[in-house]
Amino acid sequence: MLTKLAPLALACALAAQTAAAQTATPLPRLESRDGHHALIVDGAPFVMLGGQVNNSSNYAEPLKTAWPVLDAMHANTVEVPIAWEQVEPVEGHYDLSFLQELLDQARAHDKRVVLLWFGTWKNTNPSYAPAWVKLNNARFPRMKDPQGKDHGVLTPLSSATMEADRRAFVKVMEYLRDHDRQNTVIMVQPENETGSYRVPRDFSAEGNRLFAQPIPAVLARKTGKSGTWTQAFGAQAPRAFNTWYVASYVNAVAQAGKAVKALPMYVNAALAGPSNVPDPTGVASGGPQWDVLEIWKAAAPAIDLAAPDIYDRASGNVIQYLDKYARPDNALMVPEIGNAKEFARFFWPTIGRGGIGFSPFGMDASGYFNYPLGARVLDHKELDAFALPYATVSGIMRDWAKIAATRPTWGAAKPDNGSDQSVTLGPWTITASWGQWQFGMKDWTWIKADPAPWASEPVGGMAVAQLSDHEYLVMGDHVRVSFSPADKRDDGMIVSVEEGTFRDGKWVTSRVWNGDQTDYGLNLIDRPQVLKVTTGFYSGKPR
Ligand code: DGJ
């Protein structure tokens, strides 16, 4: 009897040991309160300083090339795809070996993971679906165009496709539940850039039948609209219709995944211009673009947030995108942005808007570059541009995330026209100006000076948090930050500028800036520096 039980007891003891080695931590979650958002990781607010690998780096060897890049840029998180075709190459036969490889490599390199599920949609296409899905149009039908011809994109109206995708996604989530008790994976993105280009909805017989129906009651309640899709949405009706069905499909996939392991889940948008209502045939119809977020919110309650993929180099457009996705009901996160140097400065306005994460795309050394969207090559010039803001924030990452969850924050990037940017927080106006030396004023004529080397470059940004009535936390690079009383009649002054950091949640000063270091604004140029600025009014309170 004893000899029979011994191996079993040993197996149990070993299993218990393995489980104990993977200490369970609280599940990551998104918290939203009073218009502020926080991504909670290991029980405390967290800012994702991310980098996304190239699309085909979802294999052991190319993944290895990502870690030196991520380390060099001071990233704390990697975004990595896992493909339906690699998880379920044969129907019903699952292979999660890459997921284990990813967990092992990420843990060895001390990085958290955002997992990207490349399933039914990848930049709208079914390219990452397994061959048995791609090739079986009878069982997994494409959308039909208005002439009744097949479009390349799988229809969101097929429950067979949704159920097949969902089954595989649930296997991924089950694997995370069973093998990632320490939550190396902190967020999941079900699908990638959903929707359909050129054909705004499925014109199949079933598509036409549904399109003639009244809009769903939940959507009517959320938008205050009523009637059929055409009555409710006019010229945008085909796109609104497709958005509802794509979002409902993704919701079903996400919901089933969350029932297994309730990680935060988000969707990413291929953007179509920040200030125009997009042409329904020119945009990825169905995707979570800024102007259809109401539909996504109504159809996909299992999705925590929608996020912009930014490859637009025009600074005004980038800022508009950030503003459109930073909403009381939508935490801002930039899951993709070009990896060229000039995109790095938008990290600052992202976190200044309370952004929970930021991630340039193509951050590995697999030898692939997506120029003209990103950099021609990922050399030190590009990496350093991202490394500087990441290094600045990484030292106080938990503290910044906690502050941003409750206190007023703001951020700016040098605009294309180089104009000053300012904000009023409490009784102070804080102004960011660009391209200046650390000493002196631009309009001085009594002494000749060359322009600063970075004056003509698209670099520079800052973020500020108002810590109390009179204290501010300031960070940035290639920027001059000036404080002036919001009411010109006030006699405010900077009382002290402390450079320092937080230790165990408490501010620790390493030195006080004064004299040349404060006479011409606070000049944060080329190294990680965090400042606490204390202000005051010598003849009493501000007006
Ligand atoms: C956006 C997609 O989401 C990414 O996977 C990638 O294809 C980029 N576009 C282009 O490199």
Q: What is the DSSP string of 168-189?
A: HHHHHHHHHHHH-TT-SEEEEE
Ligand 1 pocket mutation pick from 52, 189, 361 by most atoms within 8 angstroms of CB: 361
pLDDT of 81 strictly over 60: yes
Three-state DSSP at 324 gives helix
pLDDT of 483 strictly over 90: yes
Rounded CA-CA distance 225/221 in Å is: 7
pLDDT at 543: 65
Rounded CA-CA distance 239/75 in Å is: 37
388-438 residue pLDDT tens: 999 999 999 999 999 999 999 999 999 999 999 999 999 999 999 999 999
Residue whose C-alpha is closest to residue 410's, from 343, 481, 478, 470: 481
Q: 267: how many CB neighbours lie within 10 A of its CB?
A: 26
pLDDT of 528 strictly over 80: yes
Helix then strand count (H, E) for the chain reads: 17, 23
Kindly tell me the burial class for residue 27, based on how many C-beta atoms sit within 10 Å of its own C-beta (0-12, 13-18, 19 or more): middle
- The pTM of this model reads 0.94
Rounded CA-CA distance 174/84 in Å is: 15
pLDDT of 274 strictly over 90: no
Sorted by sequence, the CB contacts under 8 Å of residue 334 that are 6+ apart come out as 307, 308, 310, 322, 346, 350, 355, 357, 358, 359
pLDDT at 489: 77
pLDDT of 272 strictly over 60: yes
Rounded CA-CA distance 172/263 in Å is: 12
Residue whose C-alpha is closest to residue 114's, from 64, 48, 31: 48
% pLDDT > 90, the chain: 91
pLDDT of 301 strictly over 90: yes
**248: β partners:** none
448-475 residue pLDDT tens: 999 999 999 999 999 999 999 999 999 9
Structure tokens at 446: 């009594």
Distance 33 CA to ligand 1 centre (A): 32
Ligand 1 pocket mutation pick from 121, 193, 371 by most atoms within 8 angstroms of CB: 193
pLDDT at 281: 77
C-alpha pair distances (Å), 188 with each of 40, 81, 410:
14, 10, 27
* CATH homologous superfamily for the domain 42-198+242-391: Glycosidases (3.20.20.80)
Which residue has a Cα nearest atom 9 of ligand 1? 123
Q: The tokens 């650390």 sit on which residue?
A: 438
* CATH homologous superfamily for the domain 421-537: putative beta-Galactosidase from caulobacter crescentus (2.60.220.20)
Helix axes 159-179, 237-260, angle to 10 degrees: 30
Residue whose C-alpha is closest to residue 494's, from 463, 476, 468, 521: 521
Which atom from ligand 1 is nearest to the alpha carbon of 116?
A: 5
Q: The tokens 């209502």 sit on which residue?
A: 277
Rounded CA-CA distance 375/342 in Å is: 9
Which residue has a Cα nearest atom 6 of ligand 1? 55
pLDDT at 277: 73
Ligand 1 pocket mutation pick from 82, 121, 309 by most atoms within 8 angstroms of CB: 309
- Where along the chain do the CATH 2.60.220.20 domains lie? 421-537
C-alpha 482 chain-centroid distance: 29
Q: Is 127 in the pocket of ligand 1 (CB under 6 A)?
A: no
CB 113 within 8 A of CB 42: no
- Where along the chain do the CATH 3.20.20.80 domains lie? 42-198+242-391
